[in-house]
């Protein structure tokens, strides 16, 4: 294996530091996300790429050859996120475009809040790539459990998101008898449990309530209003529809499950196998920009790097080894070189 320049890891550290700790804090939209895009634009120029920002705020660094083959990911993060989620895919893309002198490196806006940038790009439908590759950490334990560094993604999970609101009646916490209350937060809490049970009832489905807001928010006031978020996911359209029906909500955002392109998957698998490694295939339970591009008909594929620490992600504990990252960048670069030739 050739060594990966330490600049990959230095760049990941620079991005990680942008929003202030603990963890990565580059939500969309924010000055921290803007700062990450500005830094990546500088790296793109250093790599000899011609930098553009599209109407959606996505950042593109074009090389002189086969610029319609895009490689990249996102630079926004969840609150208190990890070093690798999204950032690795952008840093690796710049590396691959520089090493091959081909393709374009892309950083999409707002992946964590619904793939804002890639979705807007696909809706606009202008200047779309001929193919898209995304390198990403697995964010789960499958590769680590199998003892292999890299995996090829078969398909990306579908997900439905929404907000639910519960109305009650504010009152005094000390003087209102329990049977006389209309407590919005209690209604929301019951819904949280129903959501969990609905997902448990469907094979491989998951559902999460990650946000809750209570009004008026006094410790001695019965809540009059509560808002919760729902993030519901399933590996195929039938199970996603079943889950949405079982929970009983109207999705505000619906992303269909997206199979990855077979030809590109085969190229990734060949490059992995040619390095004497097993080419494991696995589905992605996380959403990705590659899923949005694939749904828009653009041949897309993803390479996963083994996650350590039990596969934890969306957490500062997210970890992949330098060796695995180096190998992943090599494979990504080799596949980019092959697509750029074709
Ligand atoms: C993106 O990280 C997601 O929520 O799957
Ligand atoms: Mn990501
Ligand atoms: Mn993420």
User: Is residue 82 within 6 Å of ligand 1 at its C-beta?
Assistant: no
Q: 3 pLDDT exceeds 80?
A: no
Measured CA distances, 298 to 71, 131, 132, 221, 237 (Å):
13, 6, 7, 52, 19
Measured CA distances, 226 to 15, 215, 223 (Å):
35, 6, 7
Across the strands, what pairs with 102?
A: 65
Residue 111 alpha carbon, nearest atom of ligand 1: 1
Over residues 166-205, the pLDDT tens digits come to: 999 999 999 999 999 999 999 999 999 999 999 999 999 9
Q: Which of 73, 110, 288, 292 to mutate to test the pocket of ligand 1 (most atoms within 8 A of CB)?
A: 288
Q: What angle do CA 93, 97, 100 make, to 5 degrees?
A: 135
Of 103, 93, 229, 226, the closest CA to residue 170 belongs to 226
Q: Within 13 Å of residue 10, how many CA atoms lie on the same side as its CB?
A: 7
Residue 2's pLDDT is what? Answer: 46
Q: How far apart are CA 173 and CA 210, in angstroms?
A: 26
Neighbours of 13 (CB within 10 A): 11
Ligand 2 center–CA 133 separation, angstroms: 13
Ligand 3 center–CA 238 separation, angstroms: 24
Over residues 66-116, the pLDDT tens digits come to: 999 999 999 999 999 999 999 999 999 999 999 999 999 999 999 999 999
**pTM exceeds cut of 0.75:** yes
Over residues 243-266, the pLDDT tens digits come to: 999 999 999 999 999 999 999 999
Measured CA distances, 313 to 252, 277, 278, 296 (Å):
25, 24, 24, 27
Q: How far apart are CA 36 and CA 67, in angstroms?
A: 22
Q: How far apart are CA 280 and CA 296, in angstroms?
A: 26
Q: What is the mean pLDDT of residues 275-282?
A: 96
Q: 5 pLDDT exceeds 80?
A: no
Structure tokens at 192: 């949280």
């Amino acid at each position: 294996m050739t060594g990966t320049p330490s600049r990959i890891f230095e760049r990941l550290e620079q991005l990680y530091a942008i929003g202030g700790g603990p963890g990565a804090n580059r939500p969309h939209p924010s000055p921290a996300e803007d700062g990450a895009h500005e830094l990546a634009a500088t790296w793109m120029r250093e790599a000899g790429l011609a930098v553009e920002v599209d109407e959606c705020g996505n950042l593109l660094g074009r090389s002189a050859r086969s610029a319609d083959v895009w490689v990249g990911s996102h630079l926004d993060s969840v609150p208190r996120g990890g070093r690798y989620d999204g950032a690795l895919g952008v840093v690796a893309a710049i590396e691959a475009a520089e090493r091959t002198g081909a393709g374009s490196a892309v950083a999409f806006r707002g992946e964590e809040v619904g793939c804002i940038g890639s979705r807007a790009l696909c809706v606009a439908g202008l200047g779309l790539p001929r193919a898209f590759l995304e390198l990403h950490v697995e964010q789960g334990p499958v590769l680590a459990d199998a003892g292999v560094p890299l995996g090829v993604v078969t398909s990306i999970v579908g997900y439905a998101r929404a907000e639910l609101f519960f109305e009650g009646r504010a009152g005094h916490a000390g003087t209102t008898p329990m049977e006389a209350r209309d407590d919005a937060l209690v209604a929301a809490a019951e819904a949280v449990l129903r959501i969990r049970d609905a997902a448990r009832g469907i094979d491989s489905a998951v559902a999460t309530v990650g946000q809750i807001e209570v009004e008026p928010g006094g410790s001695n006031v019965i809540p009059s209003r509560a808002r919760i978020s729902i993030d519901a996911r399933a590996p195929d359209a039938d199970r996603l529809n079943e889950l949405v029906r079982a929970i009983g909500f109207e999705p505000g955002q619906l992303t269909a499950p997206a199979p990855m392109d077979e030809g590109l998957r085969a190229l990734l698998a060949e490059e992995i196998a040619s390095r004497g490694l097993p080419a494991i295939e696995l589905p992605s339970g996380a959403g990705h920009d590659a899923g949005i591009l694939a749904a828009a008909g653009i041949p897309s594929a993803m390479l996963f790097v083994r996650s350590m620490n039990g596969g934890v992600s969306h957490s500062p504990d997210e970890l992949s080894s330098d060796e695995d990252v180096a190998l992943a960048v090599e494979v990504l670069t080799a596949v980019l070189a092959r697509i750029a030739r074709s």
